[in-house]
Chain A
Amino acid sequence: MGSKESYRNELRSAIRQLGDRCLYSASKWAGELLVGIDQDQPRSSAIAGKATPSSSARPHHQQEHLHRDGSSFRRSRSRPGGDSEVFSATPSGGVSYVSTPSPVEDEIDDGADYYLLAKSYFDCKEYRRAAHVLRTQTSKKSIFLRCYALYLAGEKRKEEEMIELEGPLGRSEVCNGELTHLERELSALRRSGAIDAFCLYLYGIVLRDKGCESLACSVLVESVNSYPWNWSAWSELQGLCTTLDILRSLNLKNHWMKDFFLANAYQELKMYNEALAKYEYLLGIFRFSDYIQAQIATAKYSLRDFDEAEIIFEELLRIDPYRVDSMDIYSNLLYAKESFSSLSCLAHRVFLTDKYRPESCCIIANYYSLKGLHEKSVVYFRRALKLNRKYLSAWTLMGHEYVEMKNTPAAIDAYRRAVDINPRDYRAWYGLGQTYEMMNMPFYALYYFRRSAFLQPTDARLWIAMGQCYESVPLQMLEEAIKCYARAANCNDREGIALHQLAKLHSILGRSEQAAFYYKKDLERMEAEDRQGPNMIEALLFLARHCKAEKRIEEAEMYCTRLLDYTGPEKETAKSLLRGLKMAQSGFPSVEFEHFGP
């Protein structure tokens, strides 16, 4: 219990300190987390009246309702057996968190008045003025705010210039004009040892913008190690961890904020199960954190666990109706589930909340796309991209829209931009491949499928796409196709295309033994999933013939009998096959002649 209180205290002071330094988004994040901590004091009775009838049925979970009404998904989150205190006391694996002392506040002097003025200017977005006021101040806080204000002023100017300088050869990379100056000052500070965690954070961003990523990484690590509550620093660090190796090489102090960082990094590196485990653990402490819930839902969506993800998202929206963060993922989910009305409601809601958020535009675009209004969808994707040029998924989704509109060059351009923003985005590579395949260029498409399969080797769909290219009429490279389908079959191919194609290709190549093996496997799979269809008939027919040729009469009879359940020409074939089998069994010599040779 005490430790929860200590979390709370840590966060409370962090919010103050971050807010003081105008690091508002980090402060917002900490604030959300603060109210997300499970309230274990039974102070809840005062608000208990708000509990819905559904919760009253479970009185032993009363304390949960302090914050919001209990619902099914909350309960599913709570761990069986253990309560959250166990985890909060000692983290898993027996490692104990390092307690980090909060920075000592600067004493109040006459400089503090200037600081207050500067902060007010800053809050009014008059960054240069704020920096100017602090030009003679030497306290660490003032230095940070001055540098930060300068940085933001530079960023603002950069954005403006980017529009102004758009030449005929495209937008050239304008860089923040303050970077060189800031870098010089901050590196001097760091050398002299008079730098605090906040300035380190700023230094890290500056270095990243200048392209010195490894140095930026180490500076940010220094920053989070000395002041772990700055979530902005963590997320900048996460952005630099593009591979697992970089992540593992970081020398981070063991603080509970590190768990949030790791979970987020795992998620971005597509290690969803690891991320989920971390979040589940963190949920033990921060039981009511929206952030964690949203991240869990995102991970579940990525794991194609749509139903659970949808429940979480719905709940999030109910609690926080004006939320826009992560709602684009929710819209993707609704799109995948084809829930027209829910998607339209979501679009309406975010539109009213803030229509000029890239996420809002993306949600609206998704709705239009689902409705088949691809031109309108593209308009909104374009708007989203105007608001955030590096919005990866919007590029990819816009590519899909252009594909639907049969505007292949535009689709390829959109996918290519996604790939250039993040070369590890296998969906965009896959999209590129599909587009070229659509244009009847399977050989050219192979390159893209290869790239995407390289990034996501466990995704059966990618291998199947590659196999289809090899198998296509112009290429006819069946051996290569077989190899691809075999990979797909090993990757838990949900649609079962791979097994069927494998069987078919082997039978085309005259390898009836292998073909029979795969037909049998395909049959087993269809039986297990309780599916019917032409594939089933094809498999049965082949197996019946194969067994007959192999003189496994009983097996052949079994397959033939099963074929009799179906209507169509196959039934007749099965009948005649059966007749032949019967005769073979009864040993008429004529039959022997008839089936001379296999």
Chain B
Amino acid sequence: MAGASKEGFSGIVNLTPHKIALCHLIQYFAPAAHSSLPIPFKSVSQHNRLGLFLFSLTRACNDFVEPSLDELITQFKAVGVGGFEYDWFVDWLIEDLTSRLSALSSPDDLYNFFEKLRGILSPAEVTNMEDEQCFLDPSSHLGVFIRCCILAFSILTFEGVCHLLSNMAAYCNSTDPMYGLPEEDAFNTDPVLQESHEYHELNRASDKYIHDFEAGSSAGESSSFHIQAGRPLYGVPDKLFLRSKWQIQGYLNEQADLLERHAGSFRFNTFEATLKHLQKMAPDMHHVKYLRYLNNLYNDDYLSALDNLHCYFDYSAGMEGIFTGSSAPPVSGIQVGRYESALLCLGIMHTRFGHSKQALEALTEAVRISQQNNDDSCLTYTLAAMCDLLSKIGICSTSGIIGSQYSLGLGTPLSTQQQLLVLLKRSLKRAESLKLTCLVAFNRLALAGFYLKHVNRPLLSFGPKASIKLRTNPTHVCKELRLSSYLLSEFGSDGLSLPNDGGTFSTAWLKNLEKLINSPTSFNGKRTNDYDTFHFTSQPNPIPGSVLQLAGASYLLRATSWELYGSAPLVRSNALIYATCFADSASSSELSLAYCKLIQHLAVFKGYKEAFIALKLAEEKFSSVSKSHIHLLKFQLLHERALHRGQLKLAQQVCDELGILASSITGVDLELKTEASIRLARTLLAANQFSQAAAVACSLFCECYKFNLHVENATILLLLAEIHKKSGNAVLGLSYALASLSFCRTFNLDLLEASTTLTIAELWLSLGRSHAKRASNLVHQTLPMILGHGGLELRARANIAFVKCHLCDPSFSVSDDAEMVLDPLRQAAEDLETLEFHEMAAEAFYLAAVVYDALGRAEEREAAAASFKNHIVALENPGSGSEDEQRNL
């Protein structure tokens, strides 16, 4: 226990009955040297458990009010015996404790108690201890706690002692079940009060408080209201005592973290009521207002969020150090105020609400003010926030939005992309020099994301023009991703730690204890995540959650980058790593993204049936998260399947839904918008409305070009080629396909490139027999990539193209080497049947029938023809989807 941090008690503690009870317990743990009788602990482990329990109680941040004596006793019982067996010793100890506490009935008793308390601290000069004697090191955590209590008592005024005494009486009486009940009844049955609106409000608020506990498990680990179970907020307010300041701060930080990670799954009103209550009890705790701001922010209440944000910074003057990690020491008593962090917060708030213009204004002002006040770390964070904003929103040009680019230090007018790169690099450099490890990792991730999607052009627009290869460089991406992971090792080696991490272990320990108390039987059997569920013997995790979250994000980005570069197995493995190793520290939205990637992989490689089973599981897991990736994924899968099955009506319906999702009122998500348009064009294509499909695709291309979404452009160009292929205009299709090919090469989109090459081959084939050789070459070129990484559909397409090439080739004779074409055809037919892709399956069977016919294998020919007929019939009578799917929509 020695060596525990002392930062916790920097301020004098407020003496409360709970603390006195703790002092008593510590006395049992380490009895004074001359105590009359030794405490008969049953075993060493029991003694140690008591120590750990006390340690946790003084550090835990799981609530802001102290537990009542009842709760303390319940917890103590569970800890004392390591379970719920009967133990006479624990019962005796509890009896003794309660009697000792109620014996404190006059101010003099208190004086004597604290006088005696000094005895348990070991004198400094004692070196040789007797074996049985357990001294409390005065500089250990509990020692510091005892000393703080003694100090707090010695500076207490007589009035304070009187208050403490009356509080003690209330505290001890709370174990009496009759306490307070009659009062409570009178309160509720008073008909006059029932009329009053305000009283209903109050009652409702307290009801909610209780309900939340009951339904607490649905919010997963985010529910932390266990302690207040069944205790109304109002009515008997004099029984609640605040914990020490840093414990409350820890509680608030933890809640803030939960809010940010599980946005949407927090119950707004409940938490608001809790915060209001806390604010009433501790009006100078301005941090509460910040929490209220966060709560409003994540529940999309713009006006209240704005008000609370301003209120918080007006009071705190930005001195509480949300961004710097530690509150700045006041410089020789003069407060300057760090309002730049207020602007940063305001910018982030506007970003979240999708007010990109205001967000930019706020952030620009934040940059200006942090430069003015020499607040480097805030400047760095602001730059990072600005990068985040610029990369998220579709601003085609910042001129006229950022008031003057000079204020950012960007001399010449630059495109948004170039600005973004400059800002990112500046932010990274600053973060590195300021040793803001987390921010470095964040910036590296952002840079990786940038390199992934943007060609790195030289910034100078004049001077000698070296011939530059306009290609993205995957090694850059790889490098940044690798570097960002150093974050973890730095935390391992440097022993860097974030403030307020002190309480996390204790908090988790006590929470587990709560679970044990609430469901003693199911505890051992059912653990949702072993990762942070430490039992009484386990070790705390040295790495803070936020760091883990960042480290996990790099795996998610890896998965995304492999998705673009076209390696399905790597996407899968990275997503799997994320979902298994970082699930506990991940935010719900990020975790759902990883799940999406896994499900998408399933859909492409195993067909829709399995994907939909997995989707159902995921939906249950993320049911509370609004506007999630899961929602989008469902539409994607439904649309894909409808197109394959030929259910055009259903596909159109899904498209409309997607369009609604894309026209969100809280800012425009360009990626979503593009997705919706592409799917619309594909639906039109499937319905053979070629000119409309081409028109949609063309306008989409223009838009994407405007917003520099080049990766998306490769896809759109390919789609255009497909449209022209299907409409019979192969020559025009070729030009689009070639354009798409060049985009793919520029951005190293290997799988898409293979797919494009295949399309080119198909286009050549459709131009006539004479081009079969060329087409055949192209198909052979793509086969390694496609067979290695492509999904079912792509593989089938390649196989069919391969067969077609051979059939067109005059030098190829079916009778010589029938398996050469039959094997790919069988493979393709199998894959396509899994996908329920009727149109192409029909084609495969048709080809097979032709081949069989040529071979004279009539029986197999008939079978293939029958399958062909089945698919054609299914395609022509698609039905409107099963009831299940309709309900899904």
A binding-site residues for B, Cβ under 8 Å: 160-161, 164-165, 167-173, 175, 180, 184, 187, 190-191, 211-215, 407-410, 412-413, 415-416, 420, 432, 436, 439-444, 447-448, 474-476
Q: Are B242 and A412 in contact (CB under 8 A)?
A: no
A165 to B241 alpha-carbon distance, docked (Å): 12
When C-beta atoms are compared, the residue in chain A nearest to B242 turns out to be A169
Nearest CB of chain A from residue B351's CB, rounded to whole Å: 14
B12 touches which of A168, A169, A214, A413 (Cβ 8 Å): A168
B365 touches which of A170, A408, A416, A442 (Cβ 8 Å): A442
A-B contact pairs, 15 of them (CB 8 A): A160-B159, A161-B163, A167-B14, A167-B242, A167-B282, A212-B198, A214-B197, A408-B336, A410-B335, A439-B339, A443-B362, A447-B306, A474-B365, A474-B403, A475-B361
Stretch of B94-102, B308-316, B682-690, B865-873 at the chain-chain interface: B308-316
B339 touches which of A171, A214, A436 (Cβ 8 Å): A436
- Is B343 located at the chain interface by the 8 A CB criterion? yes
A165-B280 contact in complex given A215-B196, A409-B317, A439-B339, C-beta closer than 8 Å: no
- Is B79 located at the chain interface by the 8 A CB criterion? no
B binding-site residues for A, Cβ under 8 Å: 11-12, 14, 157, 159-160, 163, 183, 186, 190-193, 195-199, 202, 237, 242, 245, 248, 280-285, 306, 310-311, 314-315, 317, 319, 335-337, 339, 342-343, 346, 361-362, 364-365, 368-369, 372, 403-404, 407
A117 to B837 alpha-carbon distance, docked (Å): 100
A475 to B157 alpha-carbon distance, docked (Å): 55
Q: Are A168 and B337 in contact (CB under 8 A)?
A: no
- Chain B contacts of A415 at CB under 8 A? 314
Q: Are B196 and A212 in contact (CB under 8 A)?
A: yes
Q: Which 8 A-B pairs have the closest CB atoms?
A: A170-B284, A169-B282, A409-B337, A416-B314, A409-B317, A212-B198, A170-B283, A215-B196
- Chain A contacts of B280 at CB under 8 A? 172-173
Q: Are B14 and A211 in contact (CB under 8 A)?
A: no
When C-beta atoms are compared, the residue in chain B nearest to A414 turns out to be B314
A412 touches which of B12, B248, B317, B364 (Cβ 8 Å): B317
A432 to B317 alpha-carbon distance, docked (Å): 12
Nearest CB of chain B from residue A171's CB, rounded to whole Å: 6
A441-B314 contact in complex given A164-B157, A213-B198, A408-B337, C-beta closer than 8 Å: no
B190 touches which of A187, A408, A416 (Cβ 8 Å): A187
Q: Which label, helix, strand, loop or mixed, suits the secondary structure of the B interface?
A: helix
Nearest CB of chain A from residue B192's CB, rounded to whole Å: 4
Q: Are B196 and A172 in contact (CB under 8 A)?
A: no
A196 to B202 alpha-carbon distance, docked (Å): 29
A191 to B237 alpha-carbon distance, docked (Å): 27
Nearest CB of chain A from residue B736's CB, rounded to whole Å: 43
Q: Are A443 and B310 in contact (CB under 8 A)?
A: no
A7 to B500 alpha-carbon distance, docked (Å): 69
A440 touches which of B11, B190, B361, B369 (Cβ 8 Å): B369
Q: Are A184 and B283 in contact (CB under 8 A)?
A: no
A171 to B196 alpha-carbon distance, docked (Å): 29
A413 touches which of B163, B315, B361, B362 (Cβ 8 Å): B315
Instruction: Name 16 extra pairs, CB < 8 A, besides A443-B362, A474-B407.
Output: A161-B163, A169-B248, A190-B192, A191-B191, A212-B198, A213-B198, A409-B337, A413-B317, A416-B311, A436-B339, A440-B369, A441-B365, A442-B365, A443-B361, A448-B310, A474-B368
Q: Are A191 and B284 in contact (CB under 8 A)?
A: no
When C-beta atoms are compared, the residue in chain B nearest to A203 turns out to be B192
- Chain A contacts of B245 at CB under 8 A? 168-169
When C-beta atoms are compared, the residue in chain A nearest to B284 turns out to be A170
Q: Are A444 and B362 in contact (CB under 8 A)?
A: yes
Q: Are B196 and A441 in contact (CB under 8 A)?
A: no
Q: Are A409 and B336 in contact (CB under 8 A)?
A: yes
Q: Are A475 and B283 in contact (CB under 8 A)?
A: no
Q: Are B284 and A164 in contact (CB under 8 A)?
A: no
Point out which of A168, A190, A215, A439 has the most chain B C-beta atoms below 10 A from its C-beta: A168
Nearest CB of chain A from residue B278's CB, rounded to whole Å: 10
Number of A-B contacts (CB under 8 A): 116
A440-B368 contact in complex given A167-B242, A191-B191, A416-B315, C-beta closer than 8 Å: yes
- Chain B contacts of A170 at CB under 8 A? 282-285
- Chain A contacts of B157 at CB under 8 A? 164
When C-beta atoms are compared, the residue in chain B nearest to A183 turns out to be B193
A409 touches which of B237, B335, B346 (Cβ 8 Å): B335
A308 to B14 alpha-carbon distance, docked (Å): 55
Point out which of B190, B311, B365, B407 has the most chain A C-beta atoms below 10 A from its C-beta: B365
When C-beta atoms are compared, the residue in chain A nearest to B202 turns out to be A211
- Chain B contacts of A476 at CB under 8 A? 403-404
Nearest CB of chain A from residue B815's CB, rounded to whole Å: 80
A443-B365 contact in complex given A169-B242, A191-B192, A416-B311, C-beta closer than 8 Å: yes
A407 to B336 alpha-carbon distance, docked (Å): 8
- Chain B contacts of A440 at CB under 8 A? 368-369, 372
Q: Are B282 and A164 in contact (CB under 8 A)?
A: no
Nearest CB of chain A from residue B676's CB, rounded to whole Å: 33
A475 to B364 alpha-carbon distance, docked (Å): 9
Q: Are A444 and B335 in contact (CB under 8 A)?
A: no
Nearest CB of chain A from residue B855's CB, rounded to whole Å: 78
- Chain B contacts of A408 at CB under 8 A? 336-337
- Chain A contacts of B343 at CB under 8 A? 441, 443-444
Nearest CB of chain A from residue B65's CB, rounded to whole Å: 12
Q: Are B283 and A173 in contact (CB under 8 A)?
A: yes
A474 touches which of B314, B319, B364 (Cβ 8 Å): B364
Q: Are B192 and A475 in contact (CB under 8 A)?
A: no
Nearest CB of chain B from residue A24's CB, rounded to whole Å: 29
B403 touches which of A161, A187, A447, A475 (Cβ 8 Å): A475
When C-beta atoms are compared, the residue in chain B nearest to A444 turns out to be B343
B198 touches which of A187, A214, A441, A443 (Cβ 8 Å): A214
A436 to B368 alpha-carbon distance, docked (Å): 14
Nearest CB of chain A from residue B718's CB, rounded to whole Å: 43
- Chain A contacts of B202 at CB under 8 A? 211
Q: Are A412 and B337 in contact (CB under 8 A)?
A: yes
A168-B11 contact in complex given A173-B280, A439-B339, C-beta closer than 8 Å: yes
- Chain A contacts of B11 at CB under 8 A? 168
A412 to B335 alpha-carbon distance, docked (Å): 12
- Chain A contacts of B404 at CB under 8 A? 474, 476
A443 to B362 alpha-carbon distance, docked (Å): 7
Nearest CB of chain A from residue B857's CB, rounded to whole Å: 79
- Chain A contacts of B315 at CB under 8 A? 413, 416
- Chain B contacts of A447 at CB under 8 A? 306, 310
A440 to B337 alpha-carbon distance, docked (Å): 13
Q: Are B282 and A439 in contact (CB under 8 A)?
A: no
Nearest CB of chain B from residue A191's CB, rounded to whole Å: 6
Q: Are A441 and B339 in contact (CB under 8 A)?
A: yes
Q: Are A187 and B284 in contact (CB under 8 A)?
A: no
A444-B285 contact in complex given A173-B280, A190-B192, A409-B335, C-beta closer than 8 Å: no
Nearest CB of chain A from residue B582's CB, rounded to whole Å: 36
A214 to B337 alpha-carbon distance, docked (Å): 40
Nearest CB of chain A from residue B202's CB, rounded to whole Å: 8
Q: Are B163 and A164 in contact (CB under 8 A)?
A: yes
A215-B160 contact in complex given A169-B284, A440-B368, C-beta closer than 8 Å: no
When C-beta atoms are compared, the residue in chain B nearest to A213 turns out to be B198
- Chain A contacts of B342 at CB under 8 A? 444
- Chain A contacts of B163 at CB under 8 A? 161, 164-165
Q: Are A412 and B314 in contact (CB under 8 A)?
A: yes
- Chain A contacts of B197 at CB under 8 A? 212, 214-215
Nearest CB of chain A from residue B379's CB, rounded to whole Å: 15
Q: Are B281 and A172 in contact (CB under 8 A)?
A: yes
A442 to B365 alpha-carbon distance, docked (Å): 8
A214-B281 contact in complex given A167-B242, A168-B14, C-beta closer than 8 Å: no
When C-beta atoms are compared, the residue in chain B nearest to A177 turns out to be B238
When C-beta atoms are compared, the residue in chain B nearest to A413 turns out to be B315
- Chain B contacts of A180 at CB under 8 A? 183
- Chain B contacts of A167 at CB under 8 A? 14, 242, 282
- Chain B contacts of A184 at CB under 8 A? 186, 190
Nearest CB of chain A from residue B440's CB, rounded to whole Å: 28
